[in-house]
Amino acid sequence: MTYRELIKLYKTGKLDENQKEKVAKDIERQEAISEYLFDEGEIPGFNDLENENYKSIYGEDGIAQDDILDKMTDEEKQFSKLIKASIRKAFVKMGVIVGTVVIAVVLFIIFVLPKLVDCFYYNPLEVAGKEKEYGSYIVGDEEGNIVEEVTSDTEYEIRTTDRLSLDMAVYSELFLPGDYADNVISDSRGYGVYDIVIHGAGYSHPKNVAGKIDKNKMILYDINTYSSPVVNIVLPQLAGVDYSFHEDWGAEDKEYMLESLQNLEDNKLYGVYVTFSDVYSYSELKQWSDENTTIEPYWCALCKKLDERQIDPLEGLQYRADELMGFVNRSSARQLFYDKNQYPNLTQFDLSLTTSEEKDWEITEEDMTTHVISTLRYMQDQKAFNEMMGIEHYIEGGTYQDMIDSIEKNGLIIYGYYGVGTKEDILALSKLEEIACIYTDVVE
């Protein structure tokens, strides 16, 4: 009878008491051996556990005198095999478990952890808005004339806008005269790091620049691109607008700048920063622009009207410009998707859609006011983006909200603008009495 058959009889209770007691002791001994081997991490010779006459078999020097297998009983041989099989299974099981755990950890590190870390940082690939687009077909009469264009009920595709493209469109319109950008390509590298390429759509000189976002920090490989200007080169004080910088700039500086215009080169295109001698409403600016088409206002600089308690009694200035901030007067732009209920007319594309033949295809003051307020509210809601661009103090200090309150109460108030023109255009513009100052830079 083999030991395996003996164990089966033990399990079924068919052994006598002596055999049952012996098998029970063998099982206990096997468990003790297995635990010992598992704890010690090594496998000693099994024969010294199986044979009390080890020395008589191996000799005093531990070398076998006769064949071990011949001296072991069938029962001892079977028991030894069981122990070896049990230990082998334990190590195989442990190896499988350890291997599985290692593979799971590696897969987690490679595929899951990078995306998990991404959740804690600004994600330029986040879907900022989406919209279903449907196909259409044309209905004609018997003569082949087009009767109407019918929109199909079948969904054609879902179009989306990523977060950074929308953020950059709003940010560049508010703070970067002439450098509007509404198209960004992003690629995730994991752990909050993204490669980005910003495609500019500016009126004067579109800029394409590569860079990366590394854990809420935008690093562009042209560091001067798409950063907000350090100072306001449109001079608010010359338009009767309070501004914390350029306090000593006055008529002398204006005259110097106007004289310097004579040194501009012919046949070159210049970016022109124009300061009015007084502030304008949007409708007043539109009327002035229609009458003076030398250099069209592309980007308009905004200020807010102060309450009586905010007016300095010494200076008496009724308007204030905290930062260089404004809006694009007119521009071509691509379609972006977003929450149109929360931010109506947010983009230049949707602003242009508000025009119609009944409106003479012109953007009304009401439409533009809605657009500018939406850009301010949207940027006020983008805390992570503001922090990444280093302008979080605009939220904390109430810059956005103060401008919103002023526009809702007093409308759009404009003290200057940005456009593009030649030397001839600029000299003609400088002769107008409504112009207080002109500053130029070369359009590359």
Same domain? For 301 and 434 the reply is yes
Same domain? For 80 and 183 the reply is no
* Rounded Cα distance, 176 and 325, in Å: 8
Same domain? For 308 and 429 the reply is yes
Q: Look up residue 166 and give its two tokens.
A: 């929308």
Do 319 and 224 form a contact (C-beta atoms < 8 A)?
A: no
pLDDT tens digits along 285-330:
999 998 987 899 999 999 999 887 777 766 668 899 888 899 998 7
- Choose between 440 and 64: higher pLDDT: 440
* Rounded Cα distance, 182 and 171, in Å: 9
Q: Of 85, 118, 151, which closes a domain?
A: 118
Same domain? For 178 and 101 the reply is no
Q: Look up residue 351 and give its two tokens.
A: 């602003």
Q: Which residues contact 298 (CB under 8 A, 6 or more apart)?
A: 177, 178, 203, 204, 328, 329, 330, 331, 417, 418, 419, 420
95 CB burial (10 A radius; 0-12, 13-18, 19+): exposed
Q: Of 195, 220, 245, which closes a domain?
A: 220
Same domain? For 367 and 251 the reply is yes
Q: How many CB atoms lie within 10 A of CB 166?
A: 25
Output phi, psi for 251, to 5 deg. Answer: -60, -35
Q: Angle between the 365-381 and 399-410 helix axes, to the nearest 10 degrees?
A: 160
pLDDT exceeds 80 at position 251? no
Q: How many CB atoms lie within 10 A of CB 221?
A: 9
Q: Of 96, 118, 140, which closes a domain?
A: 118
- What's the structural domain count of the chain? 3
Mean pLDDT highest for which of 49-63, 208-222, 377-391?
A: 377-391
**Does residue 227 sit within a domain?**
no
Do 15 and 5 form a contact (C-beta atoms < 8 A)?
A: no
Give the largest Cα separation in the chain, rounded.
Answer: 124
- Choose between 362 and 373: higher pLDDT: 373
Same domain? For 259 and 332 the reply is yes
Q: Are strands 435-442 and 270-281 parallel, antiparallel or unpaired?
A: antiparallel
Output phi, psi for 420, to 5 deg. Answer: -135, 135
* Rounded Cα distance, 181 and 357, in Å: 29
Same domain? For 286 and 399 the reply is yes
**Does residue 226 sit within a domain?**
no
Same domain? For 269 and 216 the reply is no
The owner of tokens 């012996």 is 22
Do 7 and 25 form a contact (C-beta atoms < 8 A)?
A: no
**Does residue 225 sit within a domain?**
no
**Does residue 230 sit within a domain?**
no
Average pLDDT over residues 76-93: 76
The predicted structure's pLDDT at residue 46: 46
pLDDT exceeds 60 at position 157? yes
Same domain? For 84 and 132 the reply is no
Give the 3-state secondary structure of the chain: CCHHHHHHHHHHCCCCHHHHHHHHHHHHHHHHHHHHHHHHCCCCCCHHHHCCCHHHHHCCCCCCCCCHHHHCCHHHHHHHHHHHHHHHHHHHHHHHHHHHHHHHHHHHHHHHHHHHHHCCCCCCCCEEEEEEEEEEEEEECCCCCEEEEEEEEEEEEEEEEEHHHHHHHHHHHHHCCCCCEEEEEEEEEECCEEEEEEEECCCCCCCEEEEEEECCCEEECCCCCCCCCCCCCCCHHHHCEECCCCCCCCHHHHHHHHHHHHHCCCCCCEEEEEEEEEEEEHHHHHHHHHHCCCCCCCEEEEEEECCHHHCCCCCCCCEECCCCCEEECCCCCCCCCCCCCCCCCCCHHHHHHCCCHHHCCCCCHHHHHHHHHHHHHHHHHCHHHHHHCCCCHHHHCCHHHHHHHHHHHHCCEEEEEEEEECHHHHHHHHCCCCEEEEEEEECC
Considering only 143-147, 175-179, 358-362, which range has the smallest mean pLDDT?
A: 143-147
pLDDT tens digits along 327-372:
998 777 889 999 999 999 999 999 988 887 667 778 899 999 999 9
Range of the domain at 49: 3-118
Beta-bridged to residue 320, according to DSSP, are 242, 304
Same domain? For 163 and 206 the reply is yes
For residue 164, the Cα-to-chain-centroid distance in whole angstroms is 5
Same domain? For 53 and 196 the reply is no
pLDDT tens digits along 272-287:
999 999 999 999 999 9
Q: Are strands 299-305 and 193-200 parallel, antiparallel or unpaired?
A: unpaired
pLDDT exceeds 50 at position 43? no
Same domain? For 308 and 424 the reply is yes
The predicted structure's pLDDT at residue 242: 82
Model confidence, pTM: 0.71
* Rounded Cα distance, 425 and 230, in Å: 27
